Amino acid sequence: MGRLELIQSLTGHEGRVWNVAWHPKGNFLASCGEDKIIRIWGKQGNKWVLKTILTDGHQRTIREMSWSPCGNRFASASFDATTAIWDKASENFECIATLEGHENEVKSVAFSKSGVFLATCSRDKSVWVWEVQDDEFECAAVLNAHTQDVKKVVWHPQEDILASASYDNTVKLFKEDLSDHDWTCVATLDAHESTVWSLAFEKTGARLATCSDDQTVKIWKEYKPGNPEGIVTPLNESVWKCVCALHGFHSRTIYDIAWCHITGLLATACGDDIIRVFKEEASCDPNQPTFELVHACHNAHSEDVNAVKWNPCVEGMLASASDSGEIRIWQYQD
């Protein structure tokens, strides 16, 4: 069994902290929440300290941030219906663009791995794809595939494939049709019985994990056309099948899930104040994998855990954000 060792608690936010985002190099952590303030934390000696405070970007709660792959920019999504783009011009970050278009609360934002696209989603049920060209952000698609509030957008770690999770209990995947540069829904992952709050791709993008208000985690595997298992792939598009469900581990809504690209560990953030870590059993059938709960960190926070994020560069380092207003940095030990 492993355990999560608390390295440090970061305080300063007023009200609930909604999210944290690691810089691609793993040496900075951005956080945001109800207080409409973005905080960027960095390491000084052995301590994580506040490096930057950005205050004037949004009128209402900031729900999520996403770093561009180059690390010189990040985007922030807010309940004020806008998405702000921040650029590190010299010493400090400057808001260089405000993306308008959503009717109401923007819930999630994500830069694609290629850096060419930015995705946003909103309570207005739509998912938007923006094309990035230097300082210009053009709307490349408005996707109305979901029938309810869209909670999360996440890009595939290698390709320009977008996944979105919704209050309509489904996850949808979108891809650009190169013949007319329009984006279309290429798959709907339908197995959860309530809101899907978040999702995370495995390092290769061949599987993804989803977490839901139905208190389960589900693991989905991509079956490409011509797969050796003989899974039929209509229209020559990949089929995503649910190959594993983690039942009975969580006692409340699971708000976030993170799939570590270094260790392969899964971490979940839950409304029961617990952070759980799961490990895939070695040599299990790839079409029927099994995951073992290797640690449940009780009272990881004093209130709901809203977000968990593995550090992309430091093995086993995890950051979490909570309704309590605290951010915590953890180190996983086997």
Measured CA to CA, the distance from residue 38 to residue 220 in angstroms comes to 33
Shorter beta-carbon distance to other proteins: residue 98 or 227? 98
Minimum distance, C-beta of residue 118 to other proteins, in the bound complex (Å): 14
Alpha helices by DSSP H, listed for 156-230, are: none
Of 173, 227, 230, 224, nearest to 199 by C-alpha is 173
- Read out DSSP for 101-162? --SS-EEEEEE-TTSSEEEEEETTS-EEEEEEETTEEEEEEEE---SS-EEEEEE-SSSSEE
- Cα(50)–Cα(52) distance, integer angstroms: 6
CA dist 65 and 34 (Å) reads 13
Measuring CA to CA, which residue among 175, 184, 193 is closest to residue 242? Answer: 193
- Identify which of 181, 236, 173 has the alpha carbon closest to the alpha carbon of residue 210: 173
Which residue lies nearer to other proteins by CB, 52 or 98? 98
Least CB distance to other proteins at residue 18 (A): 8
What CA–CA distance (Å, rounded) separates 123 from 74? 22
Q: Which is nearer to other proteins, 58 or 328 (CB)?
A: 58
| Shortest reach from residue 194's CB to other proteins, in Å | 9
Q: Are 151 and 195 in contact (CB under 8 A)?
A: yes
Task: Select 145 or 260, whichever has its Cβ closest to other proteins.
Answer: 145
Give CA–CA dist 101/129, Å, rounded: 11
Taking the least distance from each CB to other proteins, the nearer of 63 and 192 is 63
For residue 181, the SS3 value is: coil
Length in residues, the chain: 334
Q: Cα–Cα distance between 321 and 245 in angstroms, integer?
A: 25
In angstroms, give the least distance from the CB of 82 to other proteins. Answer: 12
Q: Choose between 61 and 68: whose C-beta lies nearer to other proteins.
A: 61
Nearer to other proteins, 213 or 280 (CB): 213
SS3 12: coil
Tokens of 19: 């999210």
Instruction: Tell me how far, at minimum, the Cβ of 133 lies from other proteins, in Å.
Output: 10
Q: Which residues bind other proteins (CB under 8 A)?
A: 15-16, 34, 36, 60-61, 63, 79, 100-101, 103-105, 107, 123-124, 126, 131, 138-142, 144, 149, 167, 179-182, 195, 213, 253, 255, 271, 304
Nearest-approach distance from CB 306 to other proteins, in angstroms: 9
Tokens of 167: 């209050």
Which CB sits closer to other proteins, 77 or 154? 77
